[in-house]
Amino acid sequence: MTLKERVEADIKKAMLAKDKARLQALRSIKSLILLAETEKGGGEGLTQDTELKLLTKAAKQRRESAEVYAQQSRADLEQIELAELAVIEEYLPKQLDEGDLRIKLVEIIQRVGATGPSDLGRVMGVASKELAGQADGRAISAAVGALLNNTDF
């Protein structure tokens, strides 16, 4: 079942359950998918990689918006963004915790043969591809920087 089919089925369930918040989030996901399909020229649908990128981008936008609303003391809008984020995260792969992220990054660093901070670009290139959707880019970057500066991994 493609992401689009899953979202459409979940939209129907949300409509029957009269869950307005979930329905709004699902409709925004469907909108992203439809826009991406029309950008590509339509027809064959989206690859899993493209779907993952769309969802990751949408989750990041919701997270950043929630942070801004929290800073502005707009709890009502922050809660809406967090609710949509929770729905979007249901379709993303499980996020790595800090320990698992570190283990995977050490593995990547050793495989690439990185020896210090000057190898940050090489490690980030591989890590970003392999850990796409499993960890936030900022978290990956911070962990890689710390590991390469420490050099006793």
At the second CATH level, the architecture of 3-89 is Orthogonal Bundle (1.10)
Residue 72 banded pLDDT, cuts 50, 70, 90 = very high
Instruction: Label residues 114-134 b or e (16+ Cβ within 10 Å = b).
Output: beeeeebeebbebbeeebebb
Query: Does the pLDDT at position 55 exceed 60?
Result: yes
Spell out the domain ranges in the chain.
3-89, 98-150
Reported as a pLDDT band with limits 50, 70 and 90, residue 134 is confident
Distance CA 10, CA 5 (A): 9
What top-level class would CATH report for the domain 98-150?
Answer: mainly alpha
pLDDT at 48 over 90: no
Q: What is the pLDDT of residues 107-133, one digit of tens each?
A: 999 998 888 888 889 999 999 888 877
Query: pLDDT by residue (tens digit) across 57-68?
Result: 999 899 999 999
